[in-house]
Amino acid sequence: MIDYKEFEEIVVNVLERDISSNEDQKLAISSPKDQSLFIVAGPGSGKTTVMVLKILKFIFVDDVSPNEILATTFTRKAASELLSRILSWGDKIKSKL
């Protein structure tokens, strides 16, 4: 398990994602694990990125088992993209720990 600051540094330096430039996205990612989120935004606004980083935060910062996480989306294509990014980015984070 790592702290949020270390997670954010890995996201910026390893995944090359700037999560501090958009305050709403940063708040969604850093919110407590017991807070449900409903994210509504237009195409290309970063919803998938926020969901993936939130899930990875649950796993690496909040020590939540992946088996206890439920994420929903409206299409199979989006679900496939979520899974692909979670696995890929999760492996990159894990390799830095």
**What is the radius of gyration, based on Cα positions, of the chain?**
13
**What interhelical angle do 47-60 and 4-13 show, nearest 10?**
130
Encode pLDDT of 12-21 as tens digits.
999 999 888 8
Answer whether residue 51 shows pLDDT above 90.
yes
Q: Which of 86, 37, 23 is nearest to 60 (CA)?
A: 86
- pLDDT > 90 in the chain, percent: 72
> What mean pLDDT, rounded, does the chain reach?
93
Encode pLDDT of 69-81 as tens digits.
999 888 899 899 9
Question: CA 36, CA 25: separation in Å to the nearest integer?
Answer: 14
Number of structural domains, the chain? 1
pLDDT score recorded for residue 39: 81
Domain span at 75: 4-95
